[in-house]
A and B are shown apart, each in its own frame.
Chain A
């Protein structure tokens, strides 16, 4: 039973990583950039939801929607102001700008909302489900997280596969120049991608803080790095890859803590990542890119 409990904790943690990783992977797939500020958008989302629910006493669902709206706007703004002017610049320049944006969001949040930790009240309550006569307990947050993660993954897959915008995204991801020639508005496609990624970040922020109710301006940075790792683990740019990578990372992390060492759990997670990448150099579900001479 303990094993199952650990597995559930792992899947729950992994689902949060997966949602963040989905945002990372979407943006990477289309804009070909590592958006290091993604983790901080999560933090902003969580703060918006917190203030909506705790200060203005709005229903949790409204709080989530408000967070999504703010993050979507924030994502588009950041893209317009900081990334778009660098579309033609080397990718490392964009990476550094993203880091600048990340510092900006963290320090801005600290000035606006003080560094004092806020306790986030879970949007789905703190109840739990007891199974097998109480030996296995599953909190509502865990259930919500896992379900949301699956829904988001499926929705994204359908969206990129079947809608016009989704196809445009895939075209941009393959070849921006060719996509433009086919009449696709590359700029607005990238904007929409950032909007979706940031909206997802808001959901991830709310779920992250519902499960681990501690909110500070640096809340998003570590989960951001872990999710980035998860996205690469699964094969960056691949939606099912991000989902799988996130889940596995969460489960490995919890198992490493439980069965190896709480002190070395991060080392174990990263060691597994290295081994996987050595065996499959483009991640679990990443596309093999053949080099042309």
Chain B
């Protein structure tokens, strides 16, 4: 039984890698040949960032089984620290790709630190109480960054909180300007960087899930007491999943921020956390491929609806509700089963691995 599941999982993981590579190849070809619309081209990097956000949140919600409503907070930490690092190193490192890489690494590290600091208290709680505390931390991060002033001059970085008390030397520049955020970002994110980050994220998540630690994490999700009684270190494994998830969100934040010339703390609010959660739930808990598709589809959807002008967001809301109703409707599920049977007929067996198991009631 176990062996079979593993095989299926491996097969599915390769399918996921394959799909991402294929999508990249197609889109990159379109970009090079100039047959892509500006609209779609402009969305490639944010889609990559949202995919990484969705996959990393799926690690918390789907694999670890805890509802997090503050994932955008980690994205925010990553965005602001990563961009600050990249901007501070502007003169020292001329290569934009290297600066982006360092930025993402710095973003990931800071987000991971935030993940540890938040995870230790948060993971003592359960269910909706845990969810609200993650929401609270997300709001606190937003509030703090909104009141943070960071500047750089030849003496290094300077920080100040609440009001702008920076005394920058001649030639120094302000990087984070409180609520106005960062306004002079050099746009160095590229689709290729986004693609590589998505691949790295998938690699990390798949390897974690299929490792000893991953099985421990899922055991805790499915039955915490049973897991504890067989000697699984609950705190360690829960924190491991949470912090990994936070670090990837941080890297995604840097990638996202470096794609725009400006970024503000209010961008990473409760609504952004919810948006990413929608990707995860729509794509299926524990289903990374689903998260990828949902993140891409729901990022494109509002843009594809532009022709409806004023009714755009209303239609978006209706689509969201209908998708939830349809995918959970027992009658329609029957039809979907038939379609699925036809689609996967050659495989004879339903190819649906269900790594989520008890995740659905483990919110």
Contact = CB atoms under 8 A, between A and B. Distances in A.
B116 to A, nearest CB: 15
B281 A96 contact: yes
B125 interface: yes
If over half of A's interface residues share one DSSP class (helix, strand or loop), that class is named, otherwise mixed; here it is helix
Interface in B63-112: 67
Given A92-B281, A99-B320, A107 B313 contact: yes
Contacts of B143: 263-264, 266-267, 270
Contacts of A283: 129
Interface string A95-109: 111011101100110
Interface string B119-144: 00100111011001101110110011
Contact of A281 (B124, B274, B329): B124
A181 B140 CA distance: 46
B225 interface: yes
B129 A232 contact: yes
B360 A90 contact: yes
B314 A108 contact: yes
Contacts of A86: 324-325, 328
B278 A96 contact: yes
Contacts of B61: 92
A28 B116 CA distance: 30
Contacts of A225: 135, 270
B335 interface: no
B272 interface: no
B348 to A, nearest CB: 29
Contacts of B147: 263-264
Contacts of B324: 86, 89, 93, 96-97, 100
Contact of B328 (A34, A93, A111, A281): A93
Contacts of B281: 92-93, 95-96
Number of chain A interface residues as a range: 35 or more
Nearest to A225: B270
Interface stretch (A4-12, A69-77, A128-136, A272-280): A272-280
A232 B132 contact: yes
If over half of B's interface residues share one DSSP class (helix, strand or loop), that class is named, otherwise mixed; here it is helix
A90 B136 CA distance: 24
A281 B125 contact: yes
Interface in B126-166: 126, 128-129, 132-133, 135-137, 139-140, 143-144, 146-147, 162
B210 to A, nearest CB: 24
B129 A281 contact: yes
A108 B224 CA distance: 43
Interface in A127-185: none
Contact of B126 (A90, A101, A232, A281): A281
A188 interface: no
A101 B360 CA distance: 21
A53 interface: no
Contacts of A96: 277-278, 281-282, 320, 324
A82 B321 CA distance: 7
B246 interface: no
Contact of B317 (A103, A232, A263, A277): A103
B203 interface: no
A266 B313 CA distance: 28
A270 B137 contact: yes
Contacts of B329: 85
A107 B314 contact: yes
B140 A271 contact: yes
A274 B270 CA distance: 16
Nearest to B61: A92
A234 to B, nearest CB: 12
Given A99-B274, A267-B140, A281-B125, A92 B328 contact: no
B238 to A, nearest CB: 15
B176 interface: no
Interface in A201-242: 225, 228-229, 232, 236
B285 interface: yes
A126 interface: no
A101 B320 CA distance: 9
A267 to B, nearest CB: 4
Nearest to A32: B128
A278 B363 CA distance: 19
A282 interface: yes
Contact of B325 (A85, A261, A293): A85
A191 to B, nearest CB: 18
Contacts of A261: 162
A34 B128 contact: yes
B361 interface: yes
A88 B360 CA distance: 11
Contacts of A229: 132, 135-136
27 contacts: A34-B128, A82-B325, A86-B328, A90-B360, A92-B277, A92-B360, A93-B324, A93-B328, A95-B277, A96-B277, A96-B278, A96-B320, A101-B317, A101-B321, A103-B316, A107-B314, A229-B132, A229-B135, A232-B129, A267-B144, A270-B136, A271-B140, A273-B136, A274-B136, A278-B121, A282-B129, A293-B226
Given A93-B324, A95-B281, A263-B147, 18 more contacts: A85-B325, A90-B285, A99-B278, A100-B324, A104-B314, A111-B311, A111-B314, A232-B128, A232-B132, A263-B143, A263-B146, A266-B143, A271-B136, A273-B133, A274-B121, A277-B132, A278-B124, A291-B225
Interface of A: 34, 82, 85-86, 88-93, 95-97, 99-101, 103-104, 107-108, 111, 225, 228-229, 232, 236, 261, 263-264, 266-267, 270-271, 273-274, 277-278, 281-283, 291, 293
Interface of B: 61, 67, 121, 124-126, 128-129, 132-133, 135-137, 139-140, 143-144, 146-147, 162, 224-226, 270, 274, 277-278, 281-282, 285, 310-311, 313-314, 316-318, 320-321, 324-325, 327-330, 360-361, 363
